[in-house]
Amino acid sequence: MTGPPGVGKTRLALHLAENVSRSFPDGLVWAELAGLKDPSLLAQEIARAYGLQDASTRWVVDTLAQHAGDRRVLLVLDNCEHLLDACAVLVNSLVRSCPNLRVLATSRQSLRISPETVMRVPPLSLPEAGSADSEAVELLLARAASVGAATSIDDDQKLAAAELCRRLDGIPLAIELAAVRMRTLSVQQVLHRLGEGISALGEGDRMAPLHQRTLRAALDWSYELASQEEKLLWHRLSVFPSSFDLTAVEEICPGNGLKKERILDLLDGLVDKSVVSAAVQGAGMRYRMLESIRDYGMEKLRSGGEEESLRRQHLAFYSALCRQAWPHWTDHEQPQWFHRLQADHDNLRAALDRCAERAELETGCRMAADLWLYWQARGHLTEGRHRLAGMLERLPADSPVRARALWMAGYLAIAQGDVEQAEPLLRQGADVGTTLGDVESVAFANQYLGLCRLFSGDLTEAAGYLEKALDLQRAGGQRGAAFTLTDLAVTLTIKGDLARAIPIYREALALVEQGGDPWTRAHCLWGLGLARWSEGDHGAAEEAEKGSLGLMSELDEASGVALCLETLAWIKGSQGDHTRSAMLQGAAHMVRESIPGPLPPPFQAHAERCRVLAEQALGAGPRSRLFERGKGLNRAGAIALGLQRPAEQGRPAGGTTGSVLSRRELEVAALVAQGWTDKHIASHLVISQRTAESHVEHIRTKLGFHTRSQIAAWSARRPSES
pLDDT in tens, 173-184: 888 778 877 877
Assess contact for 276 and 267: CB atoms under 8 A: yes
| Residue of 206, 210, 134, 202 lying closest to 174 (CA atoms) | 202
At position 356, the amino acid (one-letter code) is A
DSSP string of 126-154?
Answer: -PPTT---SHHHHHHHHHHHHTT-SS---
What pTM, to 2 d.p., does this model score?
Answer: 0.71
Q: 441 Cβ partners below 8 Å, 6+ apart?
A: 403, 404, 406, 407, 429, 430, 432, 433
> Three-state SS for 439?
helix
Assess contact for 425 and 409: CB atoms under 8 A: yes
Reported CATH class of domain 647-716: mainly alpha
At position 425, the amino acid (one-letter code) is L
Q: Kindly report, residue by residue over 363-416, the tens digit of the pLDDT.
A: 999 999 999 999 988 878 888 999 999 999 999 999 999 999 999 999 999 988
- Distance CA(410)–CA(423), nearest Å, equals 7
Q: Which H/E stretch holds residue 277?
A: strand 277-281
Provide the CB-side half-sphere exposure for 337 (13 A, CA).
24
Min mean pLDDT across 17-31, 173-187, 408-422 is at: 173-187
Helix 518-534 vs helix 498-513: crossing angle, to nearest 10: 160
Q: Using the predicted structure, report yes or no on whether residue 628 has a pLDDT greater than 90.
A: yes
Assess contact for 442 and 433: CB atoms under 8 A: yes
CA dihedral 132, 137, 138, 139 (to 10 degrees): 180
Q: Kindly report, residue by residue over 470-528, the tens digit of the pLDDT.
A: 999 988 776 789 999 999 999 999 999 999 999 999 999 999 988 778 999 999 999 99
CATH of 226-305, one of 1.10.10.10, 2.30.38.10, 1.10.150.120, 1.10.443.10: 1.10.10.10
- Distance CA(308)–CA(330), nearest Å, equals 36
Helix 402-415 vs helix 439-455: crossing angle, to nearest 10: 20
CA 374 to chain centre: 15
Q: Tell me: cis bond preceding 598? Omega within 30 of 0 counts.
A: no
Mean pLDDT across the chain: 86
Task: Please count the other Cβ atoms lying within 10 Å of the Cβ belonging to residue 472.
Answer: 21
Min mean pLDDT across 37-51, 102-116, 420-434 is at: 37-51
| Residue of 722, 662, 658, 670 lying closest to 698 (CA atoms) | 662
For residue 453, CA distances in Å to 5, 480, 531 come to: 59, 19, 20
- Distance CA(12)–CA(105), nearest Å, equals 11
- Distance CA(521)–CA(549), nearest Å, equals 11
Provide the CB-side half-sphere exposure for 606 (13 A, CA).
22
Fold of 9-106: Barnase; Chain D (3.30.370)
Instruction: Tell me the average pLDDT across 683-704.
Output: 73
Q: Using the predicted structure, report yes or no on whether residue 659 has a pLDDT greater than 50.
A: no
pLDDT at res. 294 = 86
Q: Which long-range contacts (CB under 8 A, 24 or more apart) does 298-307 make?
A: 298/235, 298/238, 298/239, 300/223, 300/231, 300/234, 300/235, 300/238, 301/235, 301/236, 301/238, 301/239, 304/235, 306/235, 306/236, 306/256, 307/239
Q: Burial letters for 705-720: b for 16+ Cβ neighbours within 10 Å, e otherwise?
A: bbbbbbbbbbbbbbee
Assess contact for 5 and 108: CB atoms under 8 A: yes
Q: What is the pairing mode between strands 277-281 and 284-288? A: antiparallel
Min mean pLDDT across 42-46, 443-447, 670-674 is at: 670-674
- Distance CA(427)–CA(174), nearest Å, equals 54
Instruction: Tell me the average pLDDT across 131-140.
Output: 87
Q: Burial letters for 366-385: b for 16+ Cβ neighbours within 10 Å, e otherwise?
A: bbbbbbbbbbbbbebbebbb
Assess contact for 704 and 282: CB atoms under 8 A: yes
- Distance CA(63)–CA(335), nearest Å, equals 62
Q: What share of the chain is helix, strand, coil (3-state, %, to 5)?
A: 65, 5, 30
Instruction: Tell me the average pLDDT across 242-264.
Output: 95
| Residue of 560, 496, 556, 498 lying closest to 528 (CA atoms) | 498
Task: Please count the other Cβ atoms lying within 10 Å of the Cβ belonging to residue 37.
Answer: 9
Instruction: Tell me the average pLDDT across 35-45.
Output: 82
For residue 1, CA distances in Å to 16, 77, 85, 329, 513 come to: 11, 10, 16, 45, 52
Query: At 652, is the pLDDT very low, low, confident or very high (cuts 50, 70, 90)?
Result: very low
Q: Using the predicted structure, report yes or no on whether residue 126 has a pLDDT greater than 80.
A: yes
Task: Please count the other Cβ atoms lying within 10 Å of the Cβ belonging to residue 696.
Answer: 20
- CB-count exposure of residue 95 (10 Å: 0-12, 13-18, 19+): buried
Query: At 646, is the pLDDT very low, low, confident or very high (cuts 50, 70, 90)?
Result: very low
DSSP string of 306-351?
Answer: -HHHHHHHHHHHHHHHHHHHGGGGGSTTHHHHHHHHHHTHHHHHHH
Query: At 150, is the pLDDT very low, low, confident or very high (cuts 50, 70, 90)?
Result: low
> Three-state SS for 35?
coil
Q: Kindly report, residue by residue over 459-479, the tens digit of the pLDDT.
A: 999 999 999 999 999 887 767
Min mean pLDDT across 54-63, 184-193, 317-326, 385-394 is at: 54-63
pLDDT at res. 662 = 73
Q: Kindly report, residue by residue over 427-462, the tens digit of the pLDDT.
A: 999 999 999 999 999 999 999 999 999 999 899 999
Instruction: Tell me the average pLDDT across 45-65.
Output: 74
Assess contact for 471 and 481: CB atoms under 8 A: no
Q: Which of 50-54, 121-125, 272-276, 358-362 has the highest mean pLDDT?
A: 358-362
Determine the straight-line distance between the first and last CA of the chain, rounded to whole angstroms.
Answer: 44
